[in-house]
Amino acid sequence: MTPSPVAKATQTGYPKKAILGKMALGAGQESSRPLEGPLKAKEASGRVITTVFIALLIDLLGFTLILPLLPSILDHYSKNDDGLYLTLQHGVDRFAAVVGVPPERKYNNVLFGGLIGSIFSVLQFFASPLTGAASDCFGRRPLMLLTVMGLIASYSLWAVSRSFELFLLSRVVGGISKGNVSLSTAIIADLACPKARNKGMAMIGVAFSLGFTLGPMLGAYLAMEAEKGEIFYLWSALFAVMFSITDLAFIFFFLPETLPKEKRVSSVISGFQSVTSLLSPWALFQFSAASPPAFHATLHSSLNISSRFFSLGVDLAHARSQRQPLHGDVCLACMAAAIYWSLQ
């Protein structure tokens, strides 16, 4: 009969109690090993969510600096008798006459600003799915860095623009490079845990709310602080460049690759072929590309948090315009911290 391991070890001179204690310790270590994987995955997901949140917030702060300045920028270029500006102005005038808009300057600024904003948004609409398809082949991190470098070029063109053509070129480059927002969503979607994905999508909504609340306020403040004889939007443009450079460095040092090589598509062409469904309005409104349970839970969380931040931002902007004292900044910061820690 084969002796037991305890009997063999006892024969060699080891105390029986010490042997039994080591065996119990080893069994305890083995039973705890299956928990290490989920814990590490949860920590990794938390780091990715925090990185995406900070990177997206920095990006949106730079992006929204121009929003309150756009009407004044258009007025600035209208005084230069720029050829391209006058051509677009004639088109806006014809459109206004067709739809019956009153011929007043304030309505013209709204329509012309809408045209410039639409150019940016249309380019973003077409570029974002292509950027996402390329990231399915090459990975999220390289494309994220590439889009942020494009935004740096866009804001730099805006900072040095002294003609309407160069300003419009900066908006075109920015619209093409704005795929980093959809890439942030894709990075969160790469996470394995559904709970982490829901939390990450909600944090993207928080980043949007904070960016669109604080960014325009900062842009307007920088324009008001411009010295006499200085172009009023220069400091806003320089801050946008600074935000983008900071965002690039932050992503380079802290954002890991979330799409493993074994899960990537074999070629860019196959990824581009799936873009057609994303560009179809019917497919977009049918939400055919998203899994219903996770998508609806994520959408509900993000919209709920975003709507609360947006309403707070509207109240803050109204109070500021009426020159009423309001502790909205403190409330906003406290609300952001409370929501973030509640999602941990």
Q: CB of 49 within 8 A of CB of 203?
A: yes
The strand ranges marked E within the chain are: none
- Amino acid residing at 8: K
Q: What is the largest CA-CA distance in the chain?
A: 106
What is the model's pTM? 0.72
What contacts 192, CB < 8 A, 6 or more positions away? Answer: 41, 45
Look at residues 63, 82, 236, 83 and name the one whose alpha carbon lies nearest to residue 151: 63
Element spanning 121, H or E? helix 105-138
pLDDT of residue 275: 67
User: Scanning the structure block, which residue is given the tokens 């990715």?
Assistant: 48
What are the backbone dihedrals phi and psi of residue 12, each rounded to the nearest 5 degrees, phi first?
-80, -5
Alpha-carbon 81 to chain mean position: 37
Structure tokens at 329: 């900044």
Alpha-carbon 335 to chain mean position: 19
Residue-level pLDDT, tens digit, the chain, 344 residues = 555 554 544 555 545 445 444 444 444 444 334 445 566 778 889 999 999 999 999 999 999 999 999 888 888 888 877 788 888 888 888 888 888 877 777 777 778 888 888 889 899 988 988 898 899 999 999 999 999 999 999 999 999 998 899 999 999 999 999 999 999 999 999 998 889 999 999 999 999 999 999 999 999 999 998 887 789 999 999 999 999 999 999 999 999 999 999 989 888 777 676 666 666 666 666 655 554 444 444 444 444 444 444 444 444 444 444 444 444 444 444 444 444 444 44
Element spanning 247, H or E? helix 234-254
pLDDT of residue 158: 95
Structure tokens at 286: 């049918």
Residue ranges of the alpha helices (H) in 161-265? 164-176, 180-189, 194-224, 234-254
3-class SS string, 54-97: HHHHHHHHHHHHHHHHHHHHHHHHHCCCCHHHHHHHHHHHHHHH
Q: CB of 264 within 8 A of CB of 139?
A: yes
Distance CA 76, CA 253 (A): 39
pLDDT of residue 145: 97
